Copies of this chain bind each other. A is one copy, B any other.
Amino acid sequence: MSEPALQVSGTDFLERTGPLPPPASVGMTLDQVDTPALLLDLDAFEDNLGRMERSLEGTGMRLRPHAKSHKCPAIARIQMARGAVGVCCQKVSEAEAMVAGGVPDVLVSNQVVGAGKLARLAQLARRARIGVCVDDPANVEDLALAAQAAGATLDVLVEVDVGASRCGVAPGEAALGLIRLIAQSPGLRFAGLQAYQGSAQHLRTPHERREAIAQAVAKVRLTVDLMQRAGMPAPRVTGAGTGTYRLEAVSRAYQELQPGSYIFMDADYGRNLGEDGQPVREFRNSLFVLSTVMSRPTAARAVLDAGLKAHSIDSGMPVVADLPGAVYTSASDEHGVLSLPAGTDLELGRKVRLIPGHCDPTVNMHDWIIGYRDGRVEAIWPVSARGAFY
């Protein structure tokens, strides 16, 4: 034991041991997997990949899945092998992990600000095709300086705010001004419009989603029409998520789609309704947090070992997959309280699968994805971009 130090100073790297080993090994049954663990039902996952492929057949749409959902190069490579043109990322460090893991084409579907991050982005563009979004003229100038310093060329997309009220310039003239600035900036190549309507993805009724995407499409068209009147070639338009991608796909305004969650799904997407008023069941739940019953204090209550540090409750509590009538009622750091119907047989040590409320931030809490089929572990994939938020 090192001497306790009252004086706080300096670095203290030696005790860092890196990520814990995976909670499973290949061939184990799910009962043998340590918990909490992030499980991937490989049959459901592959079904989801196939459903997306078939859904886009004949539309001419390019598929560029969002890697912020999985943060896992092994999954990105599978997506590319099945026709994806590349992936999206949200951060430079996430893109670095994807390029290191063999992905040759990454769009950072986000703004990148700050000299250090821009330098890393430009360096990455020497090893792979890299795109990035802008919504500010000063940022375009900084990007150009970074690209020139690295001797690299960056694809630059102008983000248009198509209704989400997050980032992006207003549709129309503001976008054109940025496009002209990109076109005259050495080291940069104008590569299209980023037009993601994030707030439409979880609107519950198909009517609301149609309305939101119709408005997004109108804003895209306004901008593209202005460009054409100004003699500019038609840009590639990219956007869409799992909740609305079919609408963008048939809009004739988009050429590339960015869904992420379709491979996993989650409890919140499970609340989107279809035309029949029933939950949309286009994609299957493939992602689960495996937990263990660690306390069984009363007949009506069980406590699981998976809480706020094993899944994200930003979009609501997880849904219990395997126990009819059981409800996950509250989460603390490392506990999840289940309310049980009378007569539930659930002894200490039993494994329970949870469907996370929100897949993306849940995946980011785990170092490993445990792929299983027919009740046995088949693949163990590192979540290489876990914590890659720089």
Contact = CB atoms under 8 A, between A and B. Distances in A.
Interface stretch (A145-153, A175-183, A209-217, A309-317): A309-317
A378 B8 contact: yes
Contacts of A388: 20
Nearest to A388: B20
Contact of A81 (B5, B19, B165): B5
Q: How large is the interface on A (under 10, 10 to 19, 20 to 34, 35 or more residues)?
A: 35 or more
B333 A111 contact: no
A219 interface: no
Interface stretch (A222-230, A246-254, A272-280, A289-297): A289-297
Interface string A229-262: 0000000000000000000000000000000000
Oligomer copy total: 2
A309 B383 CA distance: 14
Contacts of A333: 68, 90, 360-361
Given A104-B1, A303-B167, A314-B314, A349 B295 contact: no
A113 to B, nearest CB: 5
A197 interface: no
Nearest to A11: B380
A305 B11 contact: no
A385 to B, nearest CB: 9
B380 A334 contact: no
Contacts of A8: 42, 45-46, 74, 78, 371, 378-379
Contacts of A314: 308, 313-314, 331
Given A8-B78, A81-B6, A387-B366, A334 B90 contact: yes
Interface in A1-16: 1-2, 4-6, 8-13, 15-16
Given A9-B378, A97-B17, A167-B303, A111 B77 contact: no
Interface of A: 1-2, 4-6, 8-13, 15-20, 22-23, 26, 34-36, 42, 45-46, 68, 73-74, 77-78, 80-82, 90-91, 93, 97, 100-104, 110-114, 116-117, 135-136, 138-139, 161, 165-169, 198, 292-297, 301, 303, 305-306, 308-310, 312-314, 331-335, 337, 348-349, 358, 360-361, 364-367, 371, 378-382, 384, 386-390
Given A12-B74, A20-B387, A23-B390, 19 more contacts: A4-B77, A11-B381, A15-B73, A16-B382, A16-B384, A17-B384, A36-B389, A90-B333, A113-B305, A113-B348, A114-B292, A166-B295, A166-B332, A167-B295, A167-B297, A167-B303, A306-B389, A308-B312, A308-B360
